[in-house]
Each structure stands twice: as C-alpha cells, then as structure tokens.
Amino acid sequence: MLIGLALLCCNSLAHADEAAPLERGTAILEPFALRELDKGPFGLGRMLATGSDATLTSATLFALPAMQPIRKALDAEFDRYVEKHRTTLPNESIGVGTSYAFQLFDRAVLDAPDTRFVLAGVVNRMDRAFVDPDHCGEVRLLYRLTRTTPPEAKGGELASPRLPMTLNIVLKARSDEQARSNAPSCADIAKRWLATSDLQLTGPELAARLVAPDGPLALIRPENIHRIETNLQIAHAPKSDVRDFRTDYMMKVFDYQSASGTFEEAVLEDQVDRDRLLADAALAREFKAWLLDPVHLGELDRGTAVIPDKFLAKVAVAPTPVGFVNSDLLPAYGLVQGDSSGPAPLFTQADVVGALEQAAAQGVRLQNIQTVAGFERRLNDSSCGGCHQTRGIGGFHFPGVDWMAEKPSNTVVVPGSPHFFGDQVRRRDILTALAEGRTPDFSRGFASRPQLRGSDELAGTVYNDGWRNRARSPACGLRQER
C-alpha cells in the first residue's frame, strides 16, 4: 500500500531554494517539535479528551464511543466500493494483498494494537475565515497512521512504518466562548502565528514557545474541535496488461455533535453529488439556478463559494493520476460535458456563456472563469475530489512530517505537495491582512497553481508558478497526480 507515497530523491525539496521556508508563520513542520507536541498536549488521546494520558492505539481509538460512528461509516464505504468494483470491473480481482489486481487497504490495521495516528503537522487555515468569520477560520492537526513496531527491512533498507491514511482534526481558530467575547480577536490570533515566522528554535524549545501563554497553540483546546476529516488510499492497482497504474483515495467528513459527544457523518464541502444531480431533474434545476446566479458564479470564480448541503455528497473517491482528460474519473464529469450515450449535461455551453454575460453586465469581475472550459475546470478543482487530483504527493496534499524516521531532520519524504507549499504565500498574505485589521483577499486561483500575488516570493524557488521545474532536476520523481 505504501506505493502511493512518492519517495523523492531530492532531499528537503520543500526548502531547497528559499532563503526562508514558505510555510513560516502558517504551518508547523519542524519534526522534533512535532514529536514533543505529540507526546504532550496534542497527542490524539489528549485532543479527544479521553481522560487518559496513555497513547491511543488505533484499536483503542476506534473503540471510543465518539469514534465508533466514524469506523462504522468507513466500513460501509468499503463495502460499497468493493460492490461497485465487482459490478463495473468484474474481470479484475479485488482484495487485501498483492495477489489481487486491485489491492485494498487492509482495514485490520485499524484494529491493530501496534498502529496509531501520529501528529504529522499543524496547519493554520485562517484563510478559510470567509466560511466562518466568527471563529476566525480554522487550525488543523494532521495525524498520520503509523506502525509502532518497525516493519522488516527489505534489501538492507528499513521500510517506512507509515501507512496511507491521514486523520485531520479541524478546529475553530477560536472557541465558541472566545467568539462570543471577541477575545482574543482574529487579529490577535493572526499576530501570534506570524510571530513564529522568525523563530530559529527547534525541538522542545520550539514546542514550548508554541504552547506558551502567548503562543499560537495556547488557544487550541479540545473544545475547539469542529470536525474530523479522513483520507485513505482505499485501493491500488499496479500497471498491468489491461490497465495503467491507478490509485483510489477515499475522503469523508464527520462533524462533532456536542449533544451526543460523537462524530457523525456529514457532507464534504463543495463535493457536488454528481450522480444524484444527474438522476434528479428537479434538484439539478435548483443547483443550476443557484450556481449560475451572478453572485454565486463570482464566488465560484474566486474560490469562496459555499455550496448548500442539499447538493453535496458524503464521500469522495478520487482516482489518481487523472490529468485533464474528460472522463468519469473527474468529479464534475457529465455536468458540463459527458458521454453521448449518457444523460444530457446539466450545464450547456449556452447556459455558461449566458451566465458569464449576465455576470459581466452586473459588474461581477471574474478572475479565473472566462470560458466554458474554465467553468468546468473550476467546478472540478473546487471539489474535494477534484482538488485532490491536482499535484498531490501519492494522493495526499499533505502526507506529513515523518519524525519517526531514522533521520527525521534529513528525510527524503516531502511533507507537502507543490500546491501546499505554493499556497502558503496566499495564506500568509491573508494572515497579514487580518493582523493589520485590513479586509483580506480570500480568493484563490485554480488548484493547479498559485495566484500571481505569490509570484515574487516563488521566483527562484523550485516552484515555478506552482509547478515543479523538472528541467532543473530531472531525477526528482514528483508525480503529477492532481
């Protein structure tokens, strides 16, 4: 299953050319500090308020009453995935192990006493404050599923203990109580994060500074938890005589319900339920009217649209690599164009052109969507699955820092995709605006590359308008999957 992770031959690719790390002030990636935070207040058991300081194994984690709905929903999605595979690809076997054409994620590791989720990164997402301004956006704790007993060495090299699943605890940047009192303010929180930009500390010293009373992580407590997001490599198909290499990733979201104290299945933000829209004419008409409204079209263009839940799906399965070839592997396939033998597309060329003209007539200035093709691209890449198919590493935008590696400060596994690092400039720009009391520009470009506002800082780095410059280092094997 680890084939889904891209091991890069270029050491420390993320910081190869920059004088200062791109993620400064916006993310915490220092391996030894993450190790201290995982042992301390940000171990998964402490964040889930289990009442115990003991390390949570995967088996213990999913036995918690709060987590049982997550495990139940994951099992149901596995069953649906296998059933769909057997219906659509009856001649290609599927199961756990290398003897199968499609090699399934082994769910047994979720019940194992020797696996656990390890803190692999802390990411500031106050750039999402447009979704929830009262709580100043989000902070995310990303945990990577890892074996606690090292696997056997193969060919003299120690295999990575990490497994292809991440668990993302999404927290409100400030709690409900803090939001009611407006203390601290969004500006205060942004300043705390930006103040870490110039820190030269590592390990325990950096961890202590981050959790100090005036540090950015002092505000992050279990009561801030909003939801849990899961992402796992559900199946992998090696290249064969009948198909090219393919790996499928499954994503789900679970909102925290304070009344029951459990995480319950929820819709994925902006993941349009394509199949349901194509099957329900009334729902499709409603969605079409909503999205082509000039205000909402402008929000889609800027990347700030919040699509109503009624149009959204509760799971996304993102195959990689996909590229931009029109096929049913793309989340919006069939909505703008599709197979002539299938249902008529929801959005015709005349619909989109008319909406663009109406938006222009009403003074809505569009930055990204100028054509029907641009509309379709935006509809794809604004979804969870579509963004996931854009320049990820092994299907994850953030595989995370491997501080359990033999030499974590010299690891060859890049913690984030080019999109992740290229977007840090935009996120820091938003933090700076919040800190200075200005109205932030929350817009973002297409998922495949950063906006021009980051071009000066990205110039001269390994990121060339968001893309890896292969000509400079042709031996580096970063897969273009998204």
Q: What is the pLDDT of residues 31-72, one digit of tens each?
A: 999 999 999 999 999 999 776 777 899 999 999 999 999 999
pLDDT for 19: 63
Give the tens place of pLDDT for each residue, 8-17.
333 334 444 4
| Residues paired with residue 470 on neighbouring β-strands, in sequence order | none
Task: Give the least confident one: 264-268, 405-409, 426-430.
Answer: 405-409
Q: State the virtual CA torsion across 406, 409, 415, 421 in degrees, nearest 10.
A: -170
C-alpha angle 170/131/334, rounded to 5°?
A: 95
Count of beta carbons in the 10 Å neighbourhood of residue 275: 10
As a whole number of angstroms, the distance between CA 366 and CA 399 comes to 33
Task: Give the least confident one: 225-239, 318-332, 419-433.
Answer: 318-332
| Contact criterion met (CB below 8 Å) for 45 and 450 | no
Largest distance between two CA atoms of the chain: 66
Give the tens place of pLDDT for each residue, 385-423.
777 776 556 557 777 888 777 666 555 467 887 788 888
Tell the burial category of 100 from Cβ atoms under 10 Å away from its Cβ (0-12, 13-18, 19+): middle
Stretch 107-124: mean pLDDT = 95
- Using the predicted structure, report yes or no on whether residue 108 has a pLDDT greater than 80: yes
Token code pair at residue 70: 């997550």
DSSP, residue by residue, 268-333 = PTT-B-HHHHHH-HHHHHHHHHHHHSHHHHHHHHHT-----GGGB-S-EEEEES-TT--STTSTTT
- Using the predicted structure, report yes or no on whether residue 475 has a pLDDT greater than 80: no
Tell the burial category of 308 from Cβ atoms under 10 Å away from its Cβ (0-12, 13-18, 19+): exposed
155: left (phi over 0), alpha (psi -120 to 50) or beta: left
If pLDDT is split at 50, 70 and 90, which confidence band does 193 have?
very high
Eight-class DSSP state of 242: S
User: pTM of this prediction?
Assistant: 0.89
pLDDT for 344: 84
- Using the predicted structure, report yes or no on whether residue 125 has a pLDDT greater than 60: yes
Beta strands in 69-161 (DSSP E): 94-95, 102-104, 115-125, 138-147
